[in-house]
Amino acid sequence: MKINDILKPTFWKVVSVIIVTMGLFSTYYRFSLGLGLTTNLHDSVPWGLWIGFDFIGVGLAAAGFTIAATVHIFHIHKYEPLVRPAILTAFLGYSVVVCLLVVDLGRPENFWHPLVMWNIHSVMFEITWCLICYTTVLILEFAPVVLEKFKIKAPIKYLKIISIPVVIAGVIFSTLHQSSFGSLYLIVPGKLHPLWYSSLLPVHFYISCIAAGLSMIIFESFLIARAFTKKDGFHHTELKMDILSGASFAVLIALIAGFLLKIYDFIDNGKLPLLTVPSTETYLFYLEILIGTLVPIFLLSYKKLIEDKKWMYLTSICVISGLVLNRLNVSITGLAASSGVNYFPSFDEISITMMLVVLAIFAFRLIAKNFAVFVSNESENSVNENGTAKSKQIILSERYE
Amino acid sequence: MLNETGILFDVTLCEGCGACYDMCKEVNNLPETNDDYLKDHLSDNTFTVVEEYGEIYTRKLCMHCNEPACVSVCLVGAIKKSSTGAVVYDADKCIGCRYCMQACPHSIPRYEWGTTKPRIRKCNLCDDRVKAGKLPGCVEACPTEAAIFGKMDELIEIAKNRLKSDPDKYYQHIYGLEEAGGGHVLIISPVPFEQLGYVSKLTSEPMPEFTMRAMEKIPSVAIGGGLFLSAMFWLTKRKNELAKEKKSTNGKENI
């Protein structure tokens, strides 16, 4: 690609540059002025958009472990083409989350303290360590892709030897911290609205992240098929409907499991009468269940719809929106009544979040362009026999440009 | 625990003079935050307040729980229980995640939002003064002995006796004895506590228990998950191999 091509303004380029510029200014202000002047957080609302977005980001990055487990542990090789995009998505998602966590810390210069100062009774401590360990796992899982490109073969051999234990560790770390994000709120039974508070919060979080993580990969596949075309030098980005239908079926199972658990939770804790109380919380809860669970279950139950691109795309958006609503309800709206204050994020909170999302998308495109992120089933198999197959592919794509 | 010390605050004796408020500001070197102390509220520069409810005056301050939520959630251990029973904070350890503020059942911790080196701010029961053999500032200043300082078992005894000897004067409950597992600040009052702005629906179970029930499952999830995944890895691999073998032998038969 020539410099002129890069500088040629398109709508999305202009929007991205504006968002990143605003985000950089906001970042500068946040670190030079402190949290009070740049956010709408205060004593009654100590956690806001940034923490809420961390929950969303981690939840939507869950395909990194589910797909890796499906292919490498359960040996269902049909899903092989999804592994690399899922791991890359997870890695970038976690990078956004870690950046936001540091931005949100009152004393970011002390971010390393949890490494040496331990309190094993804290859920936050467990999450921090799981985040560190899982990000390491993601790097190890993606490293072969980078090493292949630069034809550094020696470390790949060692990575292959440890690959299965690494995948297993990744699944366990993910299971622990995905559920622990729910455990964070177990200590506030009096503050979090009972529609969301439950001793089963960690299980709810875990099941919903499986459904939404897979939906994110389905959603992403559609965007990639549309935006990363052969004309731009991408290969194997076309939609693979049989794989996506399979993933959609897994989403359906996870959604039904989550819904049944919710029903059990409501009956077991006598929370059913809450559903008839007219309040903002109740409406938000209905919205969350309707968009995130009932509509997708309904749509996915029809075999015709599951095979139709348009409906599958729509369903994945529904499931993702459901998770977004759920995490925001737990972290912000569900706590609003007890704090007595209505919180809405400030300009700086929004612009820093948007900047990180734009940068993550940009990084995804850049990495997808230069490394073999998208592979077909055949080329993946040929790589197992001949490690150079993939690097050849990239050279081809570069020549194309 | 019973050798630890705390405060008993008797609402019926408080005249709302604000001496405790002033003294607290003095011993903690806190700037003035409001012209009228009765209109002030807890903040990064106010660790205790006197509140007016009709003709009744009461105080708000950190309850110094026996098993504090804030201590259990702090990932770097910046908040700790002192040997006196007070809940104390070490700003040098703090990373500023504010989970303690979120977790506190009494919503007590405040934050220095306005600075780039913010600290969590709250009453520390004058831990340094107590260790040096002095009274907490607010207790020393109180002219009516509405607040008294002493060993926890003695304070509980005094509170129980007052409720018993004058049942008409007191609402029959010692606030802070069992709330959120109990703490080192006890309050007795003529009216139910929700009328005085206290969080009244707290369980008698310490808050960290709610988290521990989930946390204690972590080792079994990790070990069980590891075993399960290893087993599945081996089983599905074997299954695929067998399927392949069968396929190839079938193929040969066909030939």
Output the domain CATH number for residue A374. 1.20.1630.10
Instruction: Indicate if the pLDDT at residue B71 is higher than 90.
Output: yes
Task: Decide if A4 is inside a domain.
Answer: no
Task: Decide if A10 is inside a domain.
Answer: no
pLDDT exceeding 90 applies to what percent of chain B?
Answer: 84
Instruction: Indicate if the pLDDT at residue B137 is higher than 50.
Output: yes
> Six-digit token pair at B229?
């995944």
pLDDT of residue B170: 94
Separation in Å, CA of B235 to nearest CA in chain A: 8
| Residue position matching structure tokens 């487990």 | A69
- Residues A119 and B74: beta-carbon distance below 8 Å: yes
Query: Taking CB atoms and an 8 Å cutoff, what residues of chain A touch B45?
Result: none
pLDDT exceeding 70 applies to what percent of chain B?
Answer: 97
Instruction: Indicate if the pLDDT at residue B253 is higher than 80.
Output: no
pLDDT of residue A377: 63
Q: How far is CA B218 from the centre of its chain?
A: 24
- Cα–Cα distance between A127 and A122 in angstroms, integer? 9
| Residue in A with minimal Cα distance to B234 | A73
> Six-digit token pair at A381?
């198999």
What are the per-10-residue average pLDDT scores of chain A (401 residues)?
A: 72 92 96 93 93 94 92 90 92 94 93 92 92 93 89 86 92 94 92 93 95 93 85 78 88 95 93 89 94 93 80 92 95 88 93 96 90 70 39 35 31
- Cα–Cα distance between B232 and A100 in angstroms, integer? 36
Task: Decide if A281 is inside a domain.
Answer: yes
pLDDT of residue A372: 84
Q: Which of A34, A74, A113 sits opposite B118 (nearest CB)?
A: A34
Cβ distance of A75 and B236 shorter than 8 Å: yes
Task: Decide if A89 is inside a domain.
Answer: yes
pLDDT of residue B2: 53
Query: Taking CB atoms and an 8 Å cutoff, what residues of chain A touch B118?
Result: 34-35, 106-107
More confident residue, B167 or A239: B167
More confident residue, A238 or B184: B184
First to last CA, chain B: 84
Instruction: Indicate if the pLDDT at residue B208 is higher than 60.
Output: yes
Cβ distance of B98 and A106 shorter than 8 Å: yes
Stretch B71-87: mean pLDDT: 94
Q: Say how many domains are in chain A.
A: 1
The H or E element spanning position A369 is helix A347-370
This prediction has a pTM of 0.90
pLDDT of residue B51: 94
Separation in Å, CA of B94 to nearest CA in chain A: 7
Average pLDDT, chain B: 92
Task: Decide if A9 is inside a domain.
Answer: no
Task: Decide if A225 is inside a domain.
Answer: yes
pLDDT of residue A375: 80
- Cα–Cα distance between A316 and A219 in angstroms, integer? 6
Task: Decide if A170 is inside a domain.
Answer: yes
ipTM: 0.89
Residue B185: pLDDT band with limits 50, 70, 90: very high
Separation in Å, CA of B37 to nearest CA in chain A: 19
Q: Is B41 on the interface with A (CB under 8 A)?
A: no
Q: Is B227 on the interface with A (CB under 8 A)?
A: no
From residue B37, alpha-carbon distances to A12, B18, B57, B140, B146 in Å are 55, 7, 12, 18, 18
Q: Which of B94, B207, B239 sits opposite A187 (nearest CB)?
A: B207
| Domain range enclosing A203 | 15-400
Task: Decide if A8 is inside a domain.
Answer: no
Q: Which of A46, A73, A122 sits opposite B72 (nearest CB)?
A: A122
Q: How big is the A-B interface in CB pairs under 8 Å?
A: 163
